[in-house]
Chain A
């Protein structure tokens, strides 16, 4: 979240789209209700299903899954054509005034630079025109025909209310009524927020979808404002923290894992320290060398020296152009190219796309290590055929599965201390209450024992390149089970000579004199103690910032981009909702997202970007600098905007024999997956109360479709996709209706996800059905808007 849960109470308009907080984040949803109650805020809900968020909304619009960009693009067009955008904000705080190079174009579904052979874009025309010193040319009147503002306006003129309606299946009137409320925040003195979740991230065009949301919020002047922002609700207790601490291509703190062509630390630093694109850009990523060297110093301790580039060579280097995200992992595993997999608290057979492919892929490993609280479908993948023959009749018999599996009992949240980061970016410390049951072990001890044993083996026997392993610092007071407090101190960072904790990332150096495990968390554990433990209640601004409760990254800042809540002279857009104020020599209020003592006119408000302002036009993404509506990979209709280019041309697809895609003739219905209030993912089927509350998988289908098929509620139905099937009782509902799209009636089918072949209650894994088609930027699979057929059993 750019803002946070408590901040939602400050809003005037809530757009919930691609999420269902009333059911899936019910406790967070109370801030929406507070805004409604105390500020008379309006709630708009846009969703394929009339869910319980919709039930308490002021306006609800039903749309077809996968058409969100059309809807949001329509909102951009509405704001522009009805003059409902915050013009001063747009001019001051976005790249609307930046002029794009000649040669940039969009026609018939493609931006300039599409390479048909390589199936990817050459992005050389998606660039700003430059003046001397490499700065971008701008036109603050926003009139230059090639300035971002004019290009954006032109791009979205096609997204008329009628076009939005015919793509998404709502009516033009429903769209306009919602647009009127949402775009009412496009001026000083009004704030609007967007809450989203996996209904947005699980598409083959999800990153551009969220980019559209950010563009809309920028056009309306809602970024940096209390009661504003783009807010991902997030579905796991520490999904934010795990991401902050790395991924296949990320080191902690969103530093990049080196590529093979950055052969030295100097080259790495050069490639990752952007040059400012405007004279007033603070360009904070220019500090990359300080963060990187401090990280290397934390990783390699005394083994990180000037002489060896602080251990830079020890880090693995990714081949240029290579990707190691989820889809590739399982595709390569299925092709027999992986030997081993280690899983800590993750269940790909249940939670990944295309379960049958996952099961067959795991069967090609030599070994699998799983650390868990309960036996999971992943650890027991070899039991799938025996336990659910009807779905897995074709998978390999267990006798022929040669994978050696270790299932390790791990302690649960209550049995160890440490930090979870919630979706507000708050690092909240928790304490250990009890020991783990039986011989279950803390995860830190499992990891450490494996590490120490491997180090011992390499010391004794040698082997392939032991250096990176032997150089890694593990000098904890108790190396077998490091205290998480000690680890938290290392993450926050210290001065190497004095041993004192650093006050924050401003103190980090690129000369090896500081160490820091994640610069974004620097300041979370200072000489004053563990800031994440704090439980202070004060809220002097009355804006729900709660600066003394826990600790928020970065720098305990509660509202990201808060400098943009004021105009060029530092005057707040809204005197009643100013997170920061300029007091002549410094900013007060929230921790400013700006240099604390720099006057308002000194720098652009978006200090992390080379532009110094926010990007409406963003050449960073795979499929274009502006978002465009593309259909899901499996779609029942052609793309009404450009029939020759249906789905995202850059989407990630795989071609194994277990990756077929279906067509609308065989699979005419659009399926979506969702969660229920009573269950958490695939865990609570092991808990008796929640299993009693929702014991059974079901298939939610519209009344009209049920009538057509002669299905009544409770009848057993089978849902099939090109990849697999599920069976369960029908829940015939009025919550979804037939949608009129391109002259056809399109029906959608809803599938809750929480069951599997293990647990107190059992049922089919919905991911038997889902495709391994992914967004090209994020690698997230398209769980929403794939095609199925449905029959009475």
Chain B
């Protein structure tokens, strides 16, 4: 992550504060800026992109604790990045509340499993989940794989398993998902762009 982001941003805030005046004859800006400095003092700043719509606003994620031993870094604040020509530091109501999306007690933290006919989830360890899922995929593939079609042409395809998704994930993960798909021969591969 570029370390000069920090300097630029601080400079931006200070300039903004120095230039600001109000109609009341006194200036509220320094007080606001000071409060803001406290909130983000000593944070590590990481450049990121808002995961919601496709305007592609740049954000700065502030984390605390990543330089201390035995402390897991935590997101304390997310704000718009003034360096971006797209959003110049601004964000919409969704973007400005991004911290609550990342730090959220409804986030999934363990793999969950629902057995046939069950009415509740059960926590399952990752290794067991991977083993079971790979077995299910293999069984379906072994049953449904079509190496040749009725006319004897090589088609190497699988039509009883489908993959959907990707629009919320990075290019690189979409690319890996594509490799995964073609390694199995999966025909049906769809994403949110269809909808």
Say which residue of A251, A418, A441, A689 sits within 8 Å of B170 (CB atoms): A418
Q: State the main secondary structure of chain B at its contact with A.
A: mixed
Per-position binary interface string of chain B over residues 93-125, scored 1 when its CB falls under 8 Å from any chain A CB and 0 otherwise = 111011011101011111111111111010010
Say which residue of A240, A379, A398 sits within 8 Å of B117 (CB atoms): A398
Say which residue of A407, A430, A451 sits within 8 Å of B112 (CB atoms): A407
A residues 365-402 touching B (CB-CB < 8 Å) = 366-367, 369, 371-375, 379, 382, 386, 398-402
In the assembled complex, A329 has its CB within 8 A of some CB on chain B: yes
In the complex, what distance in Å separates the CA atom of A239 from the CA atom of B85? 21
In the complex, what distance in Å separates the CA atom of A689 from the CA atom of B188? 37
- The answer to whether A422 touches B55 (Cβ under 8 A) is yes
In the assembled complex, A779 has its CB within 8 A of some CB on chain B: yes
- The answer to whether B108 touches A407 (Cβ under 8 A) is yes
Say which residue of A379, A439, A465 sits within 8 Å of B110 (CB atoms): A439
- The answer to whether A243 touches B114 (Cβ under 8 A) is no
- The answer to whether B47 touches A430 (Cβ under 8 A) is yes
Per-position binary interface string of chain A over residues 677-689, scored 1 when its CB falls under 8 Å from any chain B CB and 0 otherwise = 1111101101111
Per-position binary interface string of chain B over residues 43-62, scored 1 when its CB falls under 8 Å from any chain A CB and 0 otherwise = 01011111111111110010
**Residues of B close to A373: CB separation below 8 A:** 101, 107-108
- The answer to whether A688 touches B100 (Cβ under 8 A) is yes
**Residues of A close to B176: CB separation below 8 A:** 444, 447-448, 482, 487
Among A299, A537, A689, max chain B CB count under 10 A is at: A689
- The answer to whether A346 touches B183 (Cβ under 8 A) is no
In the assembled complex, A110 has its CB within 8 A of some CB on chain B: no
Knowing A237-B167, A238-B168, A453-B131, the reply to whether A422 touches B56 (Cβ < 8 A) is yes
Q: Which residue of A lies closest to B86 (CB)?
A: A5
In the assembled complex, B18 has its CB within 8 A of some CB on chain A: no
In the complex, what distance in Å separates the CA atom of A326 from the CA atom of B52? 22
- The answer to whether B157 touches A27 (Cβ under 8 A) is no
Knowing A28-B55, A413-B48, the reply to whether A342 touches B119 (Cβ < 8 A) is no
**Residues of A close to B156: CB separation below 8 A:** 313-317, 465, 468
**Residues of A close to B93: CB separation below 8 A:** 677-678, 689-690, 693
In the complex, what distance in Å separates the CA atom of A262 from the CA atom of B164? 26
Q: Which residue of A lies closest to B185 (CB)?
A: A316
Knowing A318-B187, A684-B101, the reply to whether A238 touches B169 (Cβ < 8 A) is yes
Q: Which residue of A lies closest to B158 (CB)?
A: A316
Per-position binary interface string of chain B over residues 163-192, scored 1 when its CB falls under 8 Å from any chain A CB and 0 otherwise = 111111111111111111111111111111
Say which residue of B72, B106, B131, B160 sits within 8 Å of A340 (CB atoms): B160
A residues 541-557 touching B (CB-CB < 8 Å) = 544, 546, 549
In the complex, what distance in Å separates the CA atom of A345 from the CA atom of B126? 18
- The answer to whether B190 touches A325 (Cβ under 8 A) is yes
**Residues of A close to B187: CB separation below 8 A:** 248, 257, 316, 318, 324
- The answer to whether A342 touches B164 (Cβ under 8 A) is yes
In the assembled complex, B195 has its CB within 8 A of some CB on chain A: yes
CB distance from A551 to the nearest CB of B (A): 11
**Residues of A close to B52: CB separation below 8 A:** 236-237, 680-681, 683-684
A residues 426-441 touching B (CB-CB < 8 Å) = 426-428, 430-435, 437-441
In the assembled complex, A449 has its CB within 8 A of some CB on chain B: yes
Q: How large is the interface on A (under 10, 10 to 19, 20 to 34, 35 or more residues)?
A: 35 or more
In the complex, what distance in Å separates the CA atom of A780 from the CA atom of B191? 11
A residues 689-724 touching B (CB-CB < 8 Å) = 689-690, 693
In the assembled complex, B132 has its CB within 8 A of some CB on chain A: yes
Q: Which residue of A lies closest to B93 (CB)?
A: A678
**Residues of A close to B180: CB separation below 8 A:** 447, 450-451
- The answer to whether B113 touches A405 (Cβ under 8 A) is yes
**Residues of B close to A375: CB separation below 8 A:** 106, 108, 112
- The answer to whether A316 touches B175 (Cβ under 8 A) is no
- The answer to whether B126 touches A484 (Cβ under 8 A) is no
In the assembled complex, B193 has its CB within 8 A of some CB on chain A: yes
- The answer to whether A27 touches B95 (Cβ under 8 A) is yes
- The answer to whether A316 touches B155 (Cβ under 8 A) is yes
Which of B22-30, B32-40, B141-149 contacts the other chain?
B141-149
**Residues of A close to B192: CB separation below 8 A:** 235-236, 239, 242, 346, 351
Q: Which residue of B lies closest to A419 (CB)?
A: B171
- The answer to whether B101 touches A421 (Cβ under 8 A) is no
- The answer to whether B136 touches A242 (Cβ under 8 A) is no
In the complex, what distance in Å separates the CA atom of A680 from the CA atom of B159? 32
Knowing A28-B86, A439-B111, A693-B93, the reply to whether A239 touches B193 (Cβ < 8 A) is yes
**Residues of B close to A202: CB separation below 8 A:** 195
**Residues of B close to A751: CB separation below 8 A:** none
- The answer to whether A346 touches B2 (Cβ under 8 A) is no
Knowing A329-B190, A343-B164, A779-B194, the reply to whether A454 touches B137 (Cβ < 8 A) is yes
**Residues of B close to A756: CB separation below 8 A:** none
- The answer to whether A468 touches B185 (Cβ under 8 A) is yes
**Residues of A close to B61: CB separation below 8 A:** 414, 433-434
- The answer to whether A440 touches B109 (Cβ under 8 A) is yes
Say which residue of B84, B91, B136, B138 sits within 8 Å of A404 (CB atoms): B136
In the complex, what distance in Å separates the CA atom of A645 from the CA atom of B44? 63
In the complex, what distance in Å separates the CA atom of A573 from the CA atom of B133? 59
In the complex, what distance in Å separates the CA atom of A689 from the CA atom of B91? 14
In the complex, what distance in Å separates the CA atom of A329 from the CA atom of B153? 24
- The answer to whether B194 touches A780 (Cβ under 8 A) is yes
In the complex, what distance in Å separates the CA atom of A415 from the CA atom of B124? 22
- The answer to whether A342 touches B163 (Cβ under 8 A) is yes
Say which residue of B1, B84, B160, B166 sits within 8 Å of A242 (CB atoms): B166
- The answer to whether B49 touches A428 (Cβ under 8 A) is yes
Say which residue of A234, A245, A299, A491 sits within 8 Å of B54 (CB atoms): A234
- The answer to whether A437 touches B107 (Cβ under 8 A) is yes
A residues 756-791 touching B (CB-CB < 8 Å) = 759-760, 778-781
- The answer to whether A5 touches B171 (Cβ under 8 A) is no
Say which residue of A252, A337, A454, A457 sits within 8 Å of B184 (CB atoms): A454
**Residues of A close to B107: CB separation below 8 A:** 373-374, 409, 412, 437-438, 440
Say which residue of B75, B121, B126 sits within 8 Å of A414 (CB atoms): B75
CB distance from B133 to the nearest CB of A (A): 6
In the assembled complex, A263 has its CB within 8 A of some CB on chain B: yes
In the complex, what distance in Å separates the CA atom of A482 from the CA atom of B149? 35
Q: Which residue of A lies closest to B131 (CB)?
A: A453
In the assembled complex, B41 has its CB within 8 A of some CB on chain A: no
In the complex, what distance in Å separates the CA atom of A257 from the CA atom of B115? 36
CB distance from B54 to the nearest CB of A (A): 4
- The answer to whether B153 touches A317 (Cβ under 8 A) is yes
- The answer to whether A678 touches B130 (Cβ under 8 A) is no
A-B contact pairs, 29 of them (CB 8 A): A26-B92, A233-B53, A238-B168, A241-B171, A246-B181, A260-B153, A314-B182, A315-B156, A316-B186, A324-B187, A324-B188, A342-B161, A345-B169, A346-B168, A351-B192, A375-B112, A405-B114, A406-B111, A409-B110, A413-B168, A426-B56, A433-B46, A435-B72, A438-B107, A457-B138, A474-B179, A491-B175, A684-B97, A687-B97
Binding site for A on B (CB under 8 A): 1-2, 44, 46-58, 61, 63, 66, 72-75, 78, 83-87, 90-95, 97-98, 100-102, 104, 106-119, 121, 124, 126, 129-138, 140-145, 147, 149, 151, 153-195
Q: Can you list the 4 inter-chain pairs with the closest CB atoms, starting with the nearest? A: A422-B56, A438-B109, A418-B170, A344-B165
